Amino acid sequence: MATVAENLERIQERMNAACSRAGRDPAAVRLVAVTKTVPTDRIREGVEAGLTLLGENYIQEARRKIEALEDLAVSWHFIGHLQSNKARVAAEYCDWVHTVDRLRLAVELDRQARKRNRVIPVLLQVNVGDEQSRSGVSPDDLPKLFEAVAALSGLSVRGLMTLPPYFENAQEVRPFFRLLRELLERLRGIAPRPGELTELSMGMSNDFEVAVEEGATLVRIGTALFGGRPAISP
Ligand SMILES: *Cc1c(COP(=O)(O)O)cnc(C)c1O
């Protein structure tokens, strides 16, 4: 198995190449290393190799790892579906939440953030493919959700996130990444503080180069960094 450092180097080269094709500054794209199912010693290896942003998508697993790795200077991004009754755990342990997709969750996360004197940076998750099986607000309902969440003082909306439909051929995902970027541009037009609305969390192991070409600022990469995951997640 390749080391995490070797995989990271290869991914950075591919991200840099995608940036130069798109005329983008590589410093504007950050890598969120998705550590779900990855054991803590391999996460440490990744952090020694230079990872600084880590992403988890099961809240109990996130909590366990954040506690076990609290000596590391990293930020933890929550990227999974979040039930409102788990907002307390997210507010206590996670630095960012990428998956705010409904007002009820936002209200609960805001309440938990204010209790802790925190302002949590969040992204609104959009269901760009209008797939029934996916979480996310529909593009049509996004402006209304944005306006409601932007009014909550415990949350700071920084941008949008998506999990687009899956295609073997990453080029076929391009229109969905482009749509997310266009939706962000439209929101900037109605945002009270448009300068804060800059992040596009999109792109995973099989399609991150296309996502970077389309404007991703946070790419979420798991298997290309750490190797394959067991078929069944905990
Ligand atoms: C697992 C996961 C990823 C990473 O997927 P890979 O294909 O392993 O890179 C990214 N985003 C979310 C929301 C995930 O759950």
Query: Per-domain residue ranges for the chain?
Result: 4-226
The pLDDT of residue 54 is: 98
CA of 111 to the centre of ligand 1 (A): 28
**Confidence check: pLDDT of 232 > 80:** no
Closest by CA to 18, choosing from 232, 149, 211, is 211
CB atoms within 10 A of CB 9: 14
Closest by CA to 96, choosing from 36, 159, 140, is 159
The beta strand positions in the chain, using DSSP E, are: 30-34, 53-56, 75-78, 96-100, 120-126, 155-162, 199-201, 218-221
Relative to the CA of 223, which ligand 1 atom is closest? 8
Relative to the CA of 205, which ligand 1 atom is closest? 9
State the maximum Cα–Cα separation within the chain, in Å, rounded to a whole number: 48
Per the confidence metrics, is the pTM higher than 0.75? Answer: yes
The pLDDT of residue 132 is: 86
CA of 204 to the centre of ligand 1 (A): 6
Relative to the CA of 208, which ligand 1 atom is closest? 9
**Confidence check: pLDDT of 120 > 70:** yes
Relative to the CA of 229, which ligand 1 atom is closest? 8
Nearest-angstrom CA–CA distance, 104 and 195: 26
Mean pLDDT of the chain: 96
CA of 116 to the centre of ligand 1 (A): 29
CA of 58 to the centre of ligand 1 (A): 12
31 touches 51 (CB < 8 A): yes
Measured at the CA of 11, the angle between CA 55 and CA 206, to 5 degrees, comes to 70
**Confidence check: pLDDT of 118 > 60:** yes
Fold of 4-226: TIM Barrel (3.20.20)
CA of 118 to the centre of ligand 1 (A): 27
**Confidence check: pLDDT of 231 > 80:** no
pLDDT in tens, 36-91: 999 999 999 999 999 999 999 999 999 999 999 999 999 999 999 999 999 999 99
- In this structure, what token pair is assigned to residue 166? 């899956």
Measured over the CA atoms of residue 196, residue 198, residue 199 and residue 202, the dihedral's sign is positive
pLDDT in tens, 183-213: 999 999 999 889 999 999 999 999 999 999 9
- In this structure, what token pair is assigned to residue 54? 């880590």
pLDDT in tens, 2-15: 899 999 999 999 99
The pLDDT of residue 1 is: 72
Nearest-angstrom CA–CA distance, 67 and 112: 19
Contacts of 144 (CB under 8 A, 6+ apart): none
The pLDDT of residue 224 is: 97
Rounded mean pLDDT, 141-159: 98
**Confidence check: pLDDT of 234 > 50:** no
Nearest-angstrom CA–CA distance, 118 and 188: 24
The percent of residues above 90 in pLDDT, for the chain, comes to 93
